């Protein structure tokens, strides 16, 4: 790979700067603003002609805005002569709608995959939310590297919360893939709970008779906090002494923190794929290491 530049999208400026420092590459933030009518303005602030450009943009809370910003930037980089455009998208949205459940629905996962794949030469993401699809190759035409920070999060949670041999909990069947990896890392037992979705924000959690000691819930995403909060309530009802949670992507929307701590959860730990007061595990080393090896 030739001269490397790292551009920070407006969602991930600090993360992009951390990655650039690790790679010893030049860094610049995108020049982005909103016009009075709501349209977005994007400008590439440095010369990219003939250079390899890594653009970092995690798409959370306002994914439509960050998606359009990334598309505008990637297309412009190509027009300006960038030799290669690589996307680092730690939180990759729209993966839940990976099939048509009702007639006429947009399969957003495939649409977003097509939009990004047409403009990026390669994509790196972190613990993508895969449920019905087995691999991102099913929705992207370009190579997508799906990294995992779960092992680092599990070890950090043990240290952060002062835990000793906790029982690991997957709050639903979808989370089993992450709790299994955490259990291998920590050499702990784990339990997978069952979830029934009642509405967009209401769930019922079952699947536990009795538990003793301290529980650590492992999941990939905390959005509204409903699933994790209901899991914590069940754990306390069944005898848990204390409950903590560690997740990759902490979106924390619609009163999520109130739900989490109102359920009795004693501590929350996430990665910095999405910045928050709980994002104490950086994904920058994970991303930098593989970029250094592969690019």
- 279-281: strand order across its sheet: 190-192, 167-170, 214-222, 242-250, 267-271, 279-281
Find the catalytic residue in 195, 254, 280, 293. 195
> Residues 6 or more apart from 15 whose CB is under 8 A from it?
8, 56, 58, 90, 272, 273, 275, 282, 283, 284
What length does the chain have? 295
Element (H, E) at 19: helix 13-23
- The CB density around residue 187, as the number of other CB atoms within 10 Å, is 7
Element (H, E) at 5: strand 4-8
| Residues 84/294/126/139 CA torsion (nearest 10 deg) | 60
Whether 110 is a known active-site residue: answer no
Q: State the Cα–Cα distance between residues 40 and 179, nearest whole angstrom.
A: 39
- The CB density around residue 135, as the number of other CB atoms within 10 Å, is 11
Active site members: 195
């Amino acid at each position: 790979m030739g001269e490397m530049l790292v551009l920070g999208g407006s969602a991930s400026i600090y993360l992009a700067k951390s990655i650039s420092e690790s790679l010893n590459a030049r860094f610049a933030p995108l020049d982005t603003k909103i016009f009075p009518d709501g349209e977005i303005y994007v400008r590439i602030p440095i010369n990219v002609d003939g250079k390899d450009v890594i653009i970092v943009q995690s798409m959370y809370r306002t994914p439509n805005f960050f998606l359009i910003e990334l598309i505008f930037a990637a297309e412009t980089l190509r027009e300006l002569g960038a030799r290669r455009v690589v996307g680092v998208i730690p939180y990759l949205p729209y993966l839940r709608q990976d099939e048509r459940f009702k007639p006429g629905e947009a399969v957003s996962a495939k649409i977003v995959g097509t939009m990004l794949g047409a403009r990026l030469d390669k994509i790196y993401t972190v613990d993508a939310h895969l449920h019905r699809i087995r691999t991102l190759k099913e929705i992207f035409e370009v190579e997508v590297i799906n990294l995992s920070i779960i092992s680092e999060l599990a070890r950090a949670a043990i240290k952060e919360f002062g835990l000793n041999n906790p029982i690991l909990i997957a709050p639903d069947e979808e989370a089993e893939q992450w709790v299994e990896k955490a259990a291998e890392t920590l050499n702990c037992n784990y339990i997978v709970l069952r979830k029934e979705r009642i509405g967009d924000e209401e769930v019922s959690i079952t699947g536990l008779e009795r538990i003793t000691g301290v529980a650590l819930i492992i999941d990939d995403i905390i959005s509204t906090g409903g699933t994790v909060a209901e899991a914590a309530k069940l754990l306390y009802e069944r005898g848990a002494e204390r409950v903590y949670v560690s997740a990759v992507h902490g979106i924390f929307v619609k009163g999520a923190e109130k739900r989490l701590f109102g359920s009795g959860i004693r501590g929350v730990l996430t990665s910095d794929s999405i910045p928050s007061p709980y994002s104490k595990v950086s994904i920058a080393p994970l991303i930098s290491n593989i970029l250094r090896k592969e690019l």
